[in-house]
Amino acid sequence: MSDLKIQTHDGTPVELEGITLQPVSQSVAWIKPNWGFVWNRPYALKIKQHGETRQVTTWQVPIRDITQIVYYALWGLTVLFSLMTLWKTIKDWRTPHD
C-alpha cells in the first residue's frame, strides 16, 4: 500500500455576470507515521456559462501560484546568504592575522 496520495479539490464557486468560476486545486501528500510532505498547487478552473460546464487547466490558462514564487524567493535568498557567508569565511581565513 502506497502512502502517496494525489487528490483534486474543488474551491468555492464565484458568480460574475452570469458566469460561474470555480477553482480546482491538486494536492500531493506523502504521509509517514512520524513525518509528512504535502504540496498544493492550482490545477484548473471550471467555467459554467449558459448551462454548459468546461474545465480549463493551468496549461491552457496560466494561474499564478504566489506561494511557489515566495518559496523560490526564499530559496534564492538562502543560497545568496550562504554564498556571502562562505565568501567572507574564505576571505577571513586567507587574511593574515597578527
First to last CA, the chain: 64
Residue-level pLDDT at 70 = 93
Q: What is the pLDDT along the chain (98 residues), one digit of tens a residue?
A: 578 999 999 999 999 888 999 999 999 999 888 899 998 888 899 999 988 999 888 777 777 788 889 999 999 999 999 999 999 999 888 887 65
Helices (H), the chain: 66-94
Residue-level pLDDT at 14 = 95
Spatial CA neighbour of 63 closest among 48, 46, 50, 39: 46
| Cα(88)–Cα(94) distance, integer angstroms | 10
At 61, list the grid cell: 490558462
Residue-level pLDDT at 98 = 59
The answer to whether the pTM exceeds 0.75 is no
